[in-house]
Every structure is written in C-alpha cells, then in structure tokens.
Amino acid sequence: GSEGKAGNGSLAAVNLNTREILWKRDDLPGMLERGAYVESQRAFVACGDGVLYCLDVNNKGGTIWAQQYMSKKAAAPRLLVPHRHEGIMLVGTPEFDGRIMVVSRDGVTELCQFNQRIIGGGWRNQNRLYVILAQGLAVVNLDRDGAKKMLLEAEMVSACEGKDLLYA
C-alpha cells in the first residue's frame, strides 16, 4: 500500500517462483493496511475510502464490484475475523466500528454490530463465531441471523484455540 493515510494504494500479484509481477493495481483509494483476502479467484480489498473492492485475480485485478461498507472518514480500514462459512466470508470492519459483515460473491451485508471495537478472532465451532472485543469475548450465532452474546467480560489482548476449548 501507499505511505500514510491518503492517496492511492497498490496491490500486486507476484509469481513467487519467477518473481515476475503478473499484474499491479495502483488506483485503489487509500492505504491497504491488511492487503487482500483471496477466495475463489477473487481478491477482497478494504480501502481507505471505506469501500470493499472485489477484484478478479485472473483478469489483472479488474474490479468485479465495489461497495461502500463504512463511512469515508475512517482511514486504513482493516479486514478482521476473516472466516468462511457455507460459501460466504465473514469479516470484521475496523477496530473502532465493531461490525461483522457477510461478504458473498455479489456484495456486502451487515450481520451484526457490537458497541465496542473488534480486536480479533475468527474461531468457529459449529455455527458459532467467536470474536475478541476490547472488553470481552463474544459469540455470534451464524444460524440465527447474527444473534450475539457476551461470554466473558474482561479486557483482552488475544486468544488461541485448543481441542474444543478457546483460551483467552
């Protein structure tokens, strides 16, 4: 991505064996802090203009669709909590925003919103997604239209999973 929070960001596809740049996009608005998430020959990129771009990796990164998913005033959005579930991808919007979004091949819709920022997460057990928030650990029920519940209220930094357990 580009330096700072303004201007254009860049995304390139590089062949790791030959080190050849296959294609490069220099016109993506704003800094690309977390790069791209690639799924089914599509690259999903959150840009500084608050738009999520879906790019065709087989067509030199051409734009398939672009959709506003947050206000433009937020710089350097982050795709947190990337997780696949039944043909869709679940992502968290910037840390201070606290929204979990459903990204499909056709666009973005909101699943739920927390009243605190998302720190990380993405662990899934059956139809539940576990998310670390600034003041606790929460679970989102994926089979009940994004119903959410706080499991543990405490300031958290990180978590890891073990066999049938999540340590936070």
Q: Give yes or no for residue 150 having a pLDDT over 80.
A: yes
Residue 80: band (very low, low, confident or very high) from pLDDT cuts 50, 70, 90: low
pLDDT score recorded for residue 72: 59
pLDDT score recorded for residue 67: 87
pLDDT score recorded for residue 4: 43
Top pLDDT among 151 and 14 is at: 14
Residues 2-16: tens digit of each pLDDT: 444 455 778 899 999
Top pLDDT among 76 and 133 is at: 133
Q: Which of 145, 148, 124 is nearest to 136 (CA)?
A: 148
- Strand ranges (E), 33-135: 36-39, 42-46, 51-56, 62-68, 80-85, 88-92, 99-103, 108-113, 118-125, 128-133
What is the residue-averaged pLDDT of the chain? 78
Name residues whose C-beta falls within 8 Å of residue 168's C-beta, 6 or more positions apart in sequence.
132, 137, 152, 156, 158, 159
Residue 1: band (very low, low, confident or very high) from pLDDT cuts 50, 70, 90: very low
User: From residue 45, how far is each of 5, 24, 107, 165, 167 by CA, in Å?
Assistant: 15, 13, 12, 31, 30
How many CA atoms lie within 13 Å of 135's alpha carbon, on the beta-carbon side?
7
Residues 99-113: tens digit of each pLDDT: 788 887 788 888 888
pTM, 2 dp? 0.70
